[in-house]
Amino acid sequence: MQAQQTGCFSALSQVEAYICAGQKHSETLDIFERIRKQRGPLGQHSKESHGYFTFPKLEGELGPHMTFRGKPVLVWSLNNYLGLANHPDIRKVDAEAAAQWGMAYPMGARMMSGQTKYHEQLEQELAAFMDKEDAFLLNYGYQGCMSAIEALVGRHDVIVYDSECHACMVDGVRLHNGKRFVFQHNDMESFEKMLRHAKRVTDETGGGILVLTEGVFGMAGDQGKLKEIVSYKKEFGFRLFVDDAHGFGSIGKNGRGAAEYQGVQDGVDVYFGTFAKAMATVGAFVASEAHVIEYLRYNMRSQTFAKALPMPIVIGALKRLDMIRTQPELQDRLWEVARALQGGLVDAGFDIGRTNSVVTPVFLKGSLGEATNVTLELREKFGIFCSIVVYPVVPKDVIMLRLIPTVVHSMEDVRYTIDAFKQVRERLEAGDYKADRIADWASSKASAASE
């Protein structure tokens, strides 16, 4: 899996390489002209893919059955793990809070004029739920995670991070002015080697070490090796930051996440969770020791200079947290669907990788053109909408179809999907989907599908 991350980084650095080529020019580069030529690893396919493979419009009420381009589809691409997005109790609380408070209140950043007792209450309840001393409410997951990492480390500190950390963590690392070392995904031999490199640096600088990993890796679905990582803390004296966006609410006792599931909740020094998955709303939080959270409250620039979360979101998050905390049957049902889906796929001979969470990848072999043909066949013939992942996120000639089971999927949804996948795999292996590129095949099919 190291190759996957390397490919992603090399593709993302194309623009930087273009700028820093080291060649002297007589005229200043027109930034817009460079953008026109260097469209990026995903943007280079935008004309062929926009509106279908990228930026698709799913319509109707959020759930497993929605509409895509005027046709009903069975949806496996929403992180609505516990089915709270359209739960009647949630909809009621959201509507009542919006009617009472509107979307503007409170105005201003929390440090200046945007603080309320409900924001504080949510933080207190999150901290208690995660068995931490305190928590800090964040406006957005990506922004918050990146900003928390940047705030925690100084120039003498060293970051050691997993090669498959989410982009928000990688961007947090990029903001760091000190040294950083990346270890091969979940590889403890590589991890120890990078720790020793980091220790040599901090012995000279007098800084500390911050280790970054994930509770559940959102693409392949495997949990971070938190228990093994924690076992190194005594020898190397590092602090551990865990992004558990996909674990919070979906795994562990009452949804307390991957660290609780692995029995090392106390070993996680800074726990990051988002509301965008299991809680089906906007926002996030970090939980840690009280003095660490106080430091972050006063030093996270993304929160200090940003408007507080609107009151309806805070009130709605309190209700969602209460349901996660008091209704374990939601998580039980989620895992019932996930086990049926994953077990059925394995029994049918599919490769679902190393997942040990509800995130369900299906790995196939094929080119980019074949990947788009497979996706179109699933959507147009079988009415199945799932995420497609291709290079540079996965190695070349690998197709990953990513399925997200939820509480509101049925066993019939599972059976239908597995049967459709079997038929598509047969055609893929027979060479029926071969194509050199997206434009020659996908654009005409996408146009035909809209007529």
- pLDDT tens column, 375-415: 999 999 999 999 998 887 888 899 999 999 999 999 999 99
Q: Is residue 11 predicted with pLDDT exceeding 80? A: no
Q: Where are the domains of the chain?
A: 11-23+42-81+329-450, 88-326
For the segment 76-116, what is each residue's pLDDT rounded down to a tens digit? 999 999 999 999 999 999 999 999 999 999 999 999 999 99
pLDDT in the model for residue 451 = 42
CA 370 to chain centre: 26
Q: Give the number of other Cβ atoms within 10 Å of residue 168's Cβ.
A: 23
Cα 224 to Cα 247: distance, rounded to the nearest angstrom: 10
Cα 71 to Cα 379: distance, rounded to the nearest angstrom: 9
Q: Give the number of other Cβ atoms within 10 Å of residue 116's Cβ.
A: 16
Residue 3's pLDDT band, with cuts at 50, 70 and 90, is very low
Cα 293 to Cα 286: distance, rounded to the nearest angstrom: 8
Beta 65-68 vs 71-75: how paired, if at all? Answer: antiparallel
Question: Which of 329, 321, 323, 238 is CA-nearest to residue 285?
Answer: 321
Query: Reading across the β-sheet that carries 134-138, which strands appear in turn?
Result: 134-138, 284-288, 270-274, 239-243, 209-214, 158-162, 179-183
Evaluate the CA torsion angle 375, 378, 379, 380 in order and state its sign. positive
> Are residues 353 and 222 in contact, defined by beta-carbon separation less than 8 angstroms?
yes
**DSSP structural state of residue 206:** -
What length is written for the chain? 451
Mean of the per-residue pLDDT values of the chain? 91
pLDDT in the model for residue 39 = 87
Class of domain 11-23+42-81+329-450: alpha beta
> Are residues 344 and 415 in contact, defined by beta-carbon separation less than 8 angstroms?
yes
- φ, ψ at 283 (rounded to 5°): 125, 175
47-50 contact pairs (CB < 8 A, 24+): 47/439, 48/437, 48/438, 48/439, 48/442, 48/443, 49/372, 49/438, 49/442
> Are residues 286 and 245 in contact, defined by beta-carbon separation less than 8 angstroms?
no
Q: What is the mean pLDDT of residues 17-35?
A: 71
| Percentage of the chain exceeding pLDDT 90 | 81
Cα 356 to Cα 224: distance, rounded to the nearest angstrom: 10
Q: Give the alpha-carbon dihedral of 337, 340, 346, 352, to 10 degrees.
A: 10
Q: Is residue 368 predicted with pLDDT exceeding 60? A: yes
Paired strand residues for 216 = 223
Q: What is the mean pLDDT of residues 71-79?
A: 97
CATH of domain 88-326: 3.40.640.10
Q: Give the alpha-carbon dihedral of 52, 54, 55, 56, to 10 degrees.
A: 30
pLDDT in the model for residue 437 = 61
Taking CA atoms, 18 is separated from 34, 81, 249, in Å, by 9, 41, 43
Q: What is the mean pLDDT of residues 207-234?
A: 97
Cα 169 to Cα 146: distance, rounded to the nearest angstrom: 6
CA 137 to chain centre: 18
pLDDT in the model for residue 208 = 97
Q: Is residue 449 predicted with pLDDT exceeding 60? A: no
Question: Looking up tokens 């940047």, which residue turns up?
Answer: 150
Reduced to 3 states (helix: H, G, I; strand: E, B; else coil), residue 119 is: helix
> Are residues 217 and 224 in contact, defined by beta-carbon separation less than 8 angstroms?
yes
Mean pLDDT check: name the lowest of 55-59, 289-293, 433-437, 439-443.
439-443
Question: Looking up tokens 């996930």, which residue turns up?
Answer: 338
pLDDT in the model for residue 390 = 86
Cα 305 to Cα 341: distance, rounded to the nearest angstrom: 44
